[in-house]
Every structure is written in C-alpha cells, then in structure tokens.
Structure 1
C-alpha cells in the first residue's frame, strides 16, 4: 500500500476510522480480525459526518420514505405501516415518514434505521465516496438510532465488512468469533442461527462500550450484538461489500463457453439423478475446465469486476445548473479540477487521445494529451495553466470536458 514515488499511501478517509496505519490494517485486520479504535486514538471524531439533530432533520424536514427508513424492535423488523403514512396534499405518497408513528414506536423501544445515507446526507455522501477510493470496494452507510437500554437486533453476522462509528450516546458491543468464516452474500447468518446463538453465549472476543468518536471494524462473519446504555445511541454502520476470490472464479467461468468441450451436450437419454452415470462426465468436464482456466488471464475478470464496481459505486455528483453556468463563463482563468471518484483510462492511438470512462469514450487530438493528464492528477488548475496547448485550445478542451462531466468547476 505504497507508491514508490510518493511514499506510503495515507488513505485519508480510511485513516479516520482506524488507530493503526493503513498498511497494518490491510495486512492484519482487513478480512481477518476486528479492530477497536477509541476516540483518544483517532485523529478526529465524526461530528462533521452526522449527529442526533441530523436524525431529527431527516425525519421531520427531508421527506424520507421507505426504503430509506425502517424500524426494528427486539430483533424483529416492523411493518412499514407502523411508522409511515401519506405526505398529505401535494405529496400523496403513502410511505413517507410519519413522525407521530415514529415517536410512538421509538418511545416504546424500537430502533430507527436510516438507510442509504451515502445518497441522502451531504457530509456522508462525500465521506463514502472518499472511503470507496481508499478501499477499492463498494460501501454504503446506515444510521442506527437506539433508545436507552434497548437492543435493536439479536446476535448475528453480516455478509459484508463493517465500520461502526459511534456518533452520540453509548452502546455496549459484544463480538464473537465466526461460526462460518468469510460468508458470501448467499450465506446469511440465519442459515446458522443455532450455531450463532450458541457462540453468543461464550466469552466474547471484544466486550466494549463504544462512546462518541470511537470506531469498530468487523470483518464479515464476526458475530455481534449491541445494547444502548443510559441515553439514546446514534451510530453509523459503514457496510463494505468486499470482492472475493469467489467473484474472480465467477468471472473466469464466464469464458468457459469458448471451450468446445464445455459446450457439448450431455448424452441422449442420460439420467441426471444417476451419480454413476454422471461420474465420468464430471471427470471429463473438470479436465476440460482446468485446461480452459489455464489459458485464462486477468483481462476477463478485470472487465467483469470493473463493470460491477462501476455499477455499484458513483462518481462525484454533477451540478447541472452550475455546470452550464461555468461553461458559459469559461475563460483562461476559470478554476477546474477532475471529477472525483471517476475511474477512467487515458490512451493514445492513431493521433488521438481517448478518455475511456464508465459510460462514454471521449476522443480528442493527441496534442491535448499533456493537458488531460495534468487535469487527471486531480489538482485545481485553470485552462491557462495547462501544458501543450495555447490558451484558446485549452479553453475548448476544458469546455468539452465540463460538458461531458469529466471535469467540474472549482469555485
């Protein structure tokens, strides 16, 4: 996790959540074991991301509706009708938050779950995008608001890694080792409900109270439960959908259709229930599959996982009105920068430089290559500062990149 030219990679969003270096976290903790980091050990808290007042604002002023909210009581998810209703005249949508109902359920001990905050709350939108850049895996954020002395969910494990960021109040967490290591999405905890329940009665690996500014990392599969203590507890759960070697296998298997032996039909009249009849076919198929896989390289999985990553993450949002204003006013002194979290490839061929983005490919004269690569560093620059082009040509290039959503205006 280092760049030979720039030294260690700090991964600033990730570093907010861990008390160790990014390199130690990657080597020792990621996908392996939990990490508890207290507010005293972290550089800063999480007050800038979320707060109890933000919960009330979302519930009262933002028109939140399902599935961006759900509620749970003693391990059971409540029906949406228990906390939603119509928005009234001019907003006749039946599943918007009803603050009266939410108050009643919350006062009765139910936990409020605000889902998808990486799409709703501006500070979390920016933080999540930066964290995804640091992790290389998709992430999403929920808030859990638990009334005093209440437990929202029974002991369970998740099929994705999580960071727990304590915002306000205190919550007592008990963490137990997995009964099913590294579960995939298709292997949820309720398939092992009895084993999880037994494991939760043993000595925990971590038994700690999280206070404001504390953070807890849990790899997928680690069993956990939490109880709010003497006041309402608000914490963020950052879920990280780690790509696995099973995903690489799935991507590799997409190419097996290129092998003739693997496209062949099974024998006429075969009884697929008959193990003995299938045995030689399975042996032949395994040999053919091994032969096909040995001819594979990383290009297929890179394309498959790249498309999946692009579909599961989002680049920095664009401001359509402000962008059109910036295009109209663009001159040599306009400050612009590359759009954050926008994965692209920059290539040159046949006298053209190409920017290959998620949904489009831009082709420009090769003379613009130095200017494009300068922009792609992410620094704030002006058209007049771009190398390899006269000012008039640089303005033309930047105007095109603004219109295509590759760069954005920067104040």
Structure 2
C-alpha cells in the first residue's frame, strides 16, 4: 500500500532513487523509510537549489497576472486568517466574479505584515505540479503544495500541528522554525490542532526539539502532529510546504467496515427486526457481532482504496486541442507516450487508470505491456487502431521525437 514503511514489516514497494533522494534528503532511502518516515523530524541543510521550482518572480506572476480566486489564495497575520473580503474584488468588465484576488489589496495587507499563502500550487504552477506528481508516485501517498510568503520579522501562524506530513523547502530569505514533539501523535484528518489547543500552547512553552533558521536550499521534514511555528528573519521569506496526505490503517479499517456493512445490507438475517418491546440490544448483540465478524472476514478494502487513491490525485495535463490534432494526424510514425500520473495497472485484460478503464483483446496485451514501461512508443508498434483508441481515451499523449 505505502511505498514507505512506518514500521518494519509493512507492505510496500521499494523506496529508492528519485526526486526525494536527489532533492529533499541527505540520508539513505532505507534509513528514511524505516527510521524517519512518520517517526521524527529531519533537517537537511543545502538539500538542493529549488529556484527551478519557485521564486519571487513566480509569486508576483501568480498574484498579478493569473486571475487567481479563493481558495487558491489566503492571508494570515499574527495567528489569524484574514477575511477574504480584505484582499479580493471583482476584476472589471467580463470578470466580475467577486472572489478574485485584488493585487493592490494583497500588497497593502502584505506591507502591513500579513503572510500570503498560495494554495494548491500543484494545480497552478507547472514546475511544482510535475515535482509533486513524481514525489507522490515515489511515496505512494498524495502530495499537494502551498507557498508561504512572509514579510520580514513576521509570522503568519502560531504554534500548531498539521494533519499531514510536510516537507518544507526554503526558497528565498530565511525563516526561524521552532519544533516540538506531538501532543496528539499521528492525528487523523478530522483531528485538527484546535481540538488540543491548550495542550499545544503548553507544549510550545517547553524546550523545542529543533530551533533553527532555514536558508535557501534547506529542507525540513515533519511528520503529522509535530508542533511548529515559523518567523521570517531580516528579509522576506518564501518557502514551499509539500503536504503528504498519508494513507493510514484507520482509513483501511473504514474501507473494510464500509464493505462489511454493505454486505450485511444484503443479508436478510441482519435486516431482521428486533423483537416487540425491546429495551436494548443485549439479546442480539453477540449474534450481530458474529455476523459482522464474518462480513469483515469477507470484506475487501482494495476497490475502495483504489477509488480513493484515484480521486485524490490528478493525471498529467492533457491539452484538448493538441490531443485532437494528434488523433487527426496519427500515422505509423507517430510517437505516443503513457500519460503521467494515471496510476495505470493491468488486471487481466482490463486496464485501470484515473481516467477510467479499457478492455483489450488477448493479442493487444503484449503491446500494452510495452506501453506501460513509460517509454514513448511508435504508433506502428501499438497498431494504429489501438493507438487512436488510447489517444481518444486520454490514456496516451503525443510525444516528441
């Protein structure tokens, strides 16, 4: 299920060379997988130069030219999130939607000490989209990206914890990070830090585990639940937070239970009415417990897990006009490639992907296996009919020679 092992013996694929090892970590993959992941914070100095991913000019372009709307932007100051009305407005003729960011208002709030939070950058900034997609594939868990732009000597948020793991990548400027151990280890997504506000405040007064200043190129990994607060130093700070929305045993338990309950809905004995005059379940609870135990033994979490996994990430971008042009111009010399981020897998003669499924004839399967190797294929090797079908389904994209 997971590409990393939180505990020895967990199932998962090998976690090895890739963007995580090349750009985020200075420990061997095996050490990160078994000794760091979901267990402790890890600071890596000079992990990489992240200027190809994001920059101050990227911030300005997004804020002034892209027509962003909430919730792709929020602002915070002194631990409180600002009301959207303080930095949004209609954008004139033909763009009168009121929740578009107003770059003048954003500038004024920023100049007054507010932190700019650019959310879901994996959807709005191509270099980050490609990076997070590759990282998610390596980790086996969905990844999203936010940027935090904080004025000098300011902080946007007080001590808190996140309900997802994070990699913090310092892009520009410097920021002091103060890290404390969890007060509620491994929180689920519906267990925010505000449920433990007093414990968080008390823990923040104790000696930190890490108190350091991040410089451009530094990377900090924090498992979910670890307390943190950060403050920009003597210049504007820009950092990326890559949020890893980890799958948990609880999520698998939910999927098993949902499947078991669905099975019981189809069991006449489970649907039977309790006796007239019943005052409680005592007379039937053991029988129901046994029915539930049997249903759980038969339950299968895999289909629900696959649906959830597919719904939490998107495939690589597809340009509709380029795709149509590729379909119209397809010939035996055309190059196509498997679309990235599809989570494609063959089950018998059926190909499952994030954009749907396709069935194939037995003689087509060897050609499909070659395509799943993710190297570009010549349409003649696939067969023109199959290549056209895959293009129309959005499973393959035109490739450059």
The reply to whether TM is greater than 0.5 is yes
Distance in 2 (alpha carbons) for counterparts of 1:246 and 1:163 = 23
Aligned to 1:289: 292
Cα offset for 1:396? Answer: 2.1
**Structure 1 residues 175-194: aligned runs within 5 Å:** 175-194=179-198
Structure 2 residues without counterparts, runs of 5 or longer: 5-12
Please, which moves more after superposition, 316-325 or 277-286? 277-286
Distance in 1 (alpha carbons) for counterparts of 2:134 and 2:40 = 23
1:12 aligned to which of 15, 18, 38: 18
Instruction: Give the RMSD, CA atoms, in angstroms.
Output: 2.0
Deviations 1:147-167 (A, max 9, x none): 001011010011111111111
SS state of the match for residue 27, structure 2? coil
Aligned to 1:274: none
Distance in 2 (alpha carbons) for counterparts of 1:284 and 1:200 = 49
Distance in 1 (alpha carbons) for counterparts of 2:362 and 2:290 = 48
Aligned to 2:124: 120
Aligned to 1:304: 304
Cα offset for 1:183? Answer: 0.7
Distance in 2 (alpha carbons) for counterparts of 1:224 and 1:359 = 38
SS state of the match for residue 204, structure 1? coil
Distance in 1 (alpha carbons) for counterparts of 2:277 and 2:310 = 44
Q: Structure 1 residues 100, 398: closer, same or farther in 2, change over 3 A?
A: same
1:408 aligned to which of 389, 392, 397: 397
Matched-pair contact (CA < 8 Å) for 1:256–1:262: no
Aligned to 1:339: 339
Aligned to 1:33: 40
In the alignment, structure 1 residue 52 sits paired with structure 2 residue 56: yes
Deviations 1:270-303 (A, max 9, x none): 45xxxxx55665555444433433x236xx2111
In the alignment, structure 1 residue 323 sits paired with structure 2 residue 323: yes
Q: Structure 1 residues 362, 284: closer, same or farther in 2, change over 3 A?
A: closer
Q: Structure 1 residues 207, 409: closer, same or farther in 2, change over 3 A?
A: same
Matched-pair contact (CA < 8 Å) for 1:262–1:289: no
Cα offset for 1:333? Answer: 2.1
In the alignment, structure 1 residue 235 sits paired with structure 2 residue 231: no
1:129 aligned to which of 133, 145, 148: 133
Deviations 1:195-230 (A, max 9, x none): 100101111111111111111111111000000000
Aligned to 1:168: 172
Distance in 1 (alpha carbons) for counterparts of 2:73 and 2:59 = 11
Matched-pair contact (CA < 8 Å) for 1:72–1:152: yes
Distance in 1 (alpha carbons) for counterparts of 2:233 and 2:282 = 59
Cα offset for 1:319? Answer: 1.2
**Structure 1 residues 48-87: aligned runs within 5 Å:** 48-87=52-91
Distance in 1 (alpha carbons) for counterparts of 2:225 and 2:282 = 34
Matched-pair contact (CA < 8 Å) for 2:351–2:358: yes
TM-score where L is the length of structure 1: 0.88
Distance in 2 (alpha carbons) for counterparts of 1:167 and 1:229 = 14
Please, which moves more after superposition, 354-363 or 85-94? 354-363
TM-score where L is the length of structure 2: 0.90
Aligned to 2:359: 363
Please, which moves more after superposition, 248-257 or 143-152? 248-257
Matched-pair contact (CA < 8 Å) for 2:115–2:156: yes
Distance in 2 (alpha carbons) for counterparts of 1:324 and 1:231 = 48
Structure 1 residues without counterparts, runs of 5 or longer: 272-276
2:220 aligned to which of 216, 222, 227: 216
Cα offset for 1:113? Answer: 0.4
Matched-pair contact (CA < 8 Å) for 1:252–1:296: no
Cα offset for 1:136? Answer: 1.2
1:140 aligned to which of 120, 140, 144: 144
Distance in 1 (alpha carbons) for counterparts of 2:100 and 2:214 = 32
Cα offset for 1:96? Answer: 1.1
Cα offset for 1:169? Answer: 0.5
Q: Structure 1 residues 206, 279: closer, same or farther in 2, change over 3 A?
A: farther
Cα offset for 1:266? Answer: 4.5
In the alignment, structure 1 residue 152 sits paired with structure 2 residue 141: no
SS state of the match for residue 234, structure 2? coil
Q: Structure 1 residues 255, 156: closer, same or farther in 2, change over 3 A?
A: same
